[in-house]
A and B are shown apart, each in its own frame.
Chain A
Amino acid sequence: MDEERFDADALIDGTAPALGLTITDERRPAVRAFLTIAFAMKQTMDRAELDDDELALAPVFVPDDRPDDTGTAL
């Protein structure tokens, strides 16, 4: 997806209802602007040449018997 094809409004309209969020006309320009910044950040990340095994492993739940905790995400 290049910058010209990034459609922040489509993302807003497609995603906000699924999250129970209402983006009013008043808020839309600012939300659109921040999504566009985030998309630029995504493009910057895309320039990093990652190997397939360059993973950030998902948090792994480790049962823990510490009194104030229910587990440790490593």
Chain B
Amino acid sequence: MTVPAPFAFAHDIAKAIASGDVTARAVAEAALARIAAVGGPINAFTDVTTARAMEAAETVDAARDRGEPLGPLAGVPYAVKNLYDVQGLSTRAGSKINRERKPADRDATLVTRMDAAGGVLVGALNMGEYAYDFTGENAHDGPSRNPHDVTRMSGGSSSGSGAATAAGLAPLSLGSDTNGSIRVPASLCGIFGLKPTYGRLGRGGSFPFCDSLDHLGPFARCVTDLALTYDALQGPDERDHACAARSVEPAAAGLAAPPPRIAVLGGHFAESTLPEAREAVARVADALGTTRTVTVDGAEAGRAAAFVITNAESANLHLERLRTRLDDLDPDTRDRFLAGALLPASWYVQAQRVRRWWARQLALAIADVDVLIAPATPCTAPLIGQKTMSLDGKEVLVRPNLGLFTQPISCVGLPVVAAPMMASNGLPIAVQLIAKPWREVDALRAAAALERAGVAAAPRPSGLDG
């Protein structure tokens, strides 16, 4: 009986458990031991749910012993960003203040779905405070560090999710994405991430950031795992007013060929990038056999709308905390929230109008395209603490510009797979594969084609094989 290696894929782990090659208990013990042994410097976990993991693993083993059918993720360790409710834990959402909340009395909807598929929760993950972050830095819990170079950012705000799955600490993790918080850490840490269509996956039992832009989604080390997890998470959610009442549309079984109409997204998305990002887009376009570029005006306005909506809605959410707990907020989020609280109402209303306008511009421009290719981040991982970087010869702030290419897309809710690869500078980077609303399967099919071609893959960080 052999415990799968640290970077084993989730579907291989589930297969080994289902076939009796290894027990779920042994897999859980190995995962917990690895988190303890190599997880410290990465700082991805804020809670390790040892007792729950062992109980869940033993439940899987008992079901197998009885000959019962097992779920597609039976015995697979996973972890969740700490804005997901986990029964018995206070949902801290990266903050100091939320630690005073009473422990959650039930799991978030998506945690329930993962468990129903047989997943074994091993812990909750570090994140930027209240999800207002692209860097992975956190004044309360310390930064999640990039497994490929611990002096560099993991990306945020799903920083622990990106770092944990990249480091082989959890083959699957769940995060959230309001302006890029799945796609940015997927890019900087070098793993696959899926930001589904707005309204696809239920947000019940997750701590909000900006309701009209918040999405939840999975991270994985291969496309099969990403699609299997996405399939397990789908379905209506009575606890989320924005979750669409759509039936499950399975994707994992339909990844054999890429969609036929693929183009590179030009204009805003071809500007202000470093060579690593340009090279990644070119490699993906070449592998998918496209020379077509689609340029659409308005992305800058769409990004601006996302900025204003996020600033205003999140500040409103935290207004009482801004009044009474200012000194307990992370300095990197505090002053942005304060500014957001003061924005004129007309700016916010205008932002919602521009959002709708931009959605229409983009929809018209891509009417005959199935998947668009764009950079996920303009650069590979900056150094932790780095405040500025050079883009197109201009010195710009790191924090907002990590979301330069993700914000215009999540602003209008399109589904995106972040597909990773190793850049020429020895650090990972990802491209966005953007599909039409409710066509996550097209983005996943394109990612699978890139994986088969040997272009997209989650690189293993050196020195973490232990």
Distance in Å: Cβ of A42 to nearest Cβ of chain B: 5
Contact B354 A34 (CB under 8 A): no
**Hey, what's the 0/1 contact readout for B333-367 against A, CB within 8 Å counting as 1?**
01110111111100101111111111000000000
Q: Apart from A19-B319, A45-B304, A55-B356, list 20 A-B contacts with CB within 8 A.
A: A16-B341, A19-B323, A19-B341, A19-B342, A31-B342, A34-B338, A35-B342, A37-B339, A37-B400, A40-B304, A41-B304, A41-B307, A42-B304, A48-B354, A50-B353, A54-B353, A54-B357, A68-B204, A69-B238, A69-B239
Q: Which residue of A lies closest to B342 (CB)?
A: A15
Among candidates A12, A20, A34, residue contacting B336 with C-beta atoms closer than 8 Å: A34
Q: Would A48 and B301 be within 8 Å (CB), given that A38-B311, A56-B353, A56-B355 are in contact?
A: yes
Cα distance A50–B268 in the bound complex, in angstroms: 20
Cα distance A69–B354 in the bound complex, in angstroms: 30
- Give the residues from 1 to 59 in chain A that come closer than 8 angstroms, CB to CB, to chain B: 11-12, 15-16, 19-21, 23, 27, 30-31, 33-35, 37-38, 40-42, 44-48, 50, 54-56
Contact B338 A45 (CB under 8 A): no
B296 at the interface (CB under 8 A from A): no
Q: Would A73 and B307 be within 8 Å (CB), given that A23-B338, A42-B347, A50-B354 are in contact?
A: no
Contact B241 A73 (CB under 8 A): yes
Q: CB-CB < 8 A to A47: which residues of B?
A: 300-301
Distance in Å: Cβ of B156 to nearest Cβ of chain A: 18
Contact A12 B353 (CB under 8 A): no
Contact B338 A31 (CB under 8 A): yes
Q: Would A67 and B238 be within 8 Å (CB), given that A42-B350, A56-B353 are in contact?
A: yes
Cα distance A16–B315 in the bound complex, in angstroms: 13
B308 at the interface (CB under 8 A from A): yes
Q: CB-CB < 8 A to A69: which residues of B?
A: 238-239, 241
Q: Would A54 and B339 be within 8 Å (CB), given that A45-B308, A48-B301, A72-B241 are in contact?
A: no
Q: CB-CB < 8 A to B339: which residues of A?
A: 31, 34-35, 37-38
Q: CB-CB < 8 A to B204: which residues of A?
A: 68
Contact B354 A45 (CB under 8 A): yes
B305 at the interface (CB under 8 A from A): yes
What range describes how many residues of A lie at the interface? 35 or more
Q: CB-CB < 8 A to B304: which residues of A?
A: 40-42, 44-45
Contact A34 B335 (CB under 8 A): yes
B266 at the interface (CB under 8 A from A): no
- Give the residues from 309 to 347 in chain B that come closer than 8 angstroms, CB to CB, to chain A: 311, 319, 322-323, 334-336, 338-344, 347
B298 at the interface (CB under 8 A from A): yes
Contact A11 B342 (CB under 8 A): yes
Cα distance A46–B238 in the bound complex, in angstroms: 37
Cα distance A33–B400 in the bound complex, in angstroms: 13
Q: Which residue of A lies closest to B353 (CB)?
A: A56
Contact B352 A56 (CB under 8 A): yes
Most buried by A among B334, B350, B400: B350
Contact A44 B335 (CB under 8 A): no
Cα distance A47–B298 in the bound complex, in angstroms: 9
Contact B322 A66 (CB under 8 A): no
Cα distance A37–B109 in the bound complex, in angstroms: 36
Among candidates B241, B307, B352, residue contacting A38 with C-beta atoms closer than 8 Å: B307
Distance in Å: Cβ of B245 to nearest Cβ of chain A: 9
Q: Would A55 and B338 be within 8 Å (CB), given that A38-B343, A69-B238 are in contact?
A: no
25 A-B pairs in the complex with CB atoms less than 8 angstroms apart: A11-B344, A16-B342, A21-B322, A21-B341, A21-B342, A31-B338, A31-B342, A34-B336, A34-B339, A35-B339, A35-B343, A38-B311, A38-B347, A41-B307, A41-B308, A42-B308, A44-B300, A44-B303, A44-B304, A45-B305, A45-B308, A48-B354, A54-B357, A66-B238, A73-B241
